[in-house]
Amino acid sequence: MSLDPWGNTFWSLNALYIHDGVSKRPHVALSDTVHASGYFNSFILAERPRLLSKPIDELLVKMRLGRPGSLQSFDAVIGSADGSIPVAFEVARQTDCRFGYTEKQGDGRVLRRFDVRRNRLVLVVEDVITTGQEAVKTIMAIEALGGQVYPMIGTLLSLLSGETLATPVGELPVVALSRTGFDTWSVAECPLCRLGSRAIARPRANWKDLTTSLK
Ligand SMILES: [Zn+2]
């Protein structure tokens, strides 16, 4: 297991779990059909809001948005509920912008409680980007209301193999604090199940069970 510096920080805060190959340790059922060797639980940071301050500050520097004068370039910061809500809130707080989040509706996402201003730039941020499909749905919700998507996405952790995401508004760079990865498989192909490792569903709700088993 190799962790980059922020991956190491998330790990030491117990917000990142990565299976180490020991069969007695559990792994993650992301859904009925997808299993993973790891999980990022951003709520471990969000439950103590001060813990979010530094990573968001560094993310903004990495996105070159941390300097005064560059902050007026977008009007609002939007994340995808639930995990991205505290991240978007902290980015909006540090950049003195409006904040909001999209919620699931059918197969898509909508801005149910927030609005975007027509033709104003909206920055999309996430806690973790796995396939990027939630961010894509959030972008579609912003576009549907006439907002313009800022040409860059920020996230604490990215599992994408590349550094960009294909979206309806083009290929957008994804700026991530950490790219510490873990694997996902269909259940039928999950090597950890084959190894005899137990799969734990709803990892956030069962975080203690997942991260303290046999440690
Ligand atoms: Zn499995």
Report the separation in Å between the CA atom of 123 and the middle of ligand 1, taken as the mean of its atom positions. 35
Q: How many domains are there within the chain?
A: 1
Q: In the prediction, which pLDDT does 126 show?
A: 98
Q: From ligand 1's centre to the CA of 204, what distance in Å? A: 17
Distance, CA 30 to ligand 1 centroid (Å)? 10
Domain span holding position 43: 5-212
Q: Is the pLDDT of residue 75 over 50?
A: yes
Residue 31 neighbours by CB under 8 Å, 6+ apart: none
User: 107 C-alpha vs ligand 1 centroid, how far in Å?
Assistant: 25
Q: Are 75 and 53 in contact (CB under 8 A)?
A: no
Confidence of residue 71 (pLDDT cuts 50, 70, 90): very low
pLDDT for 214 = 58
pLDDT mean across residues, the chain: 92
Which stretch of DSSP H or E encloses residue 195? helix 191-195
Percent of the chain with pLDDT over 90: 88
User: 42 versus 214: which is more confidently predicted?
Assistant: 42
Cα(159) to centroid(ligand 1), Å: 18
Distance 174 CA to ligand 1 centre (A): 28
| Average pLDDT score over residue span 109-136 | 95
Burial classification of residue 2, based on how many CB atoms lie within 10 Å of its CB (0-12 exposed, 13-18 middle, 19 or more buried): exposed
CB 52 within 8 A of CB 87: yes
Band of residue 213 on the pLDDT scale cut at 50, 70, 90: low
CATH number at residue 82: 3.40.50.2020
- Cα-Cα end-to-end distance for the chain: 16
56 — pLDDT class (breaks 50, 70, 90): very high
For residue 20, pLDDT beyond 80: yes
Give 150 Cα–ligand 1 centroid separation in angstroms: 37
| Separation of CA 137 and ligand 1 centre (Å) | 27
67 pLDDT higher than 80:
no
Confidence tier at 212 by pLDDT (50, 70, 90) = confident
Give the pLDDT confidence of 25-34 residue by residue, as tens digits.
999 999 999 9
What is the mean pLDDT of the segment spanning 37-57? 94
Ligand 1 centroid, distance to 162 Cα (angstroms): 25
Q: State pLDDT tens for residues 140-178.
A: 999 999 999 999 999 999 999 999 999 999 999 999 999
More confident residue, 74 or 78: 78
Q: How far does the centroid of ligand 1 lie from the alpha carbon of residue 192, in Å?
A: 5
Chain-centroid distance, C-alpha 9: 16
Residue matched to tokens 């290929």: 171
Distances (CA, A) of 70 to 58, 60, 62: 15, 11, 13
pLDDT band at 55; cut points 50, 70, 90: very high
Distance in Å, CA 186 to ligand 1 centroid: 8
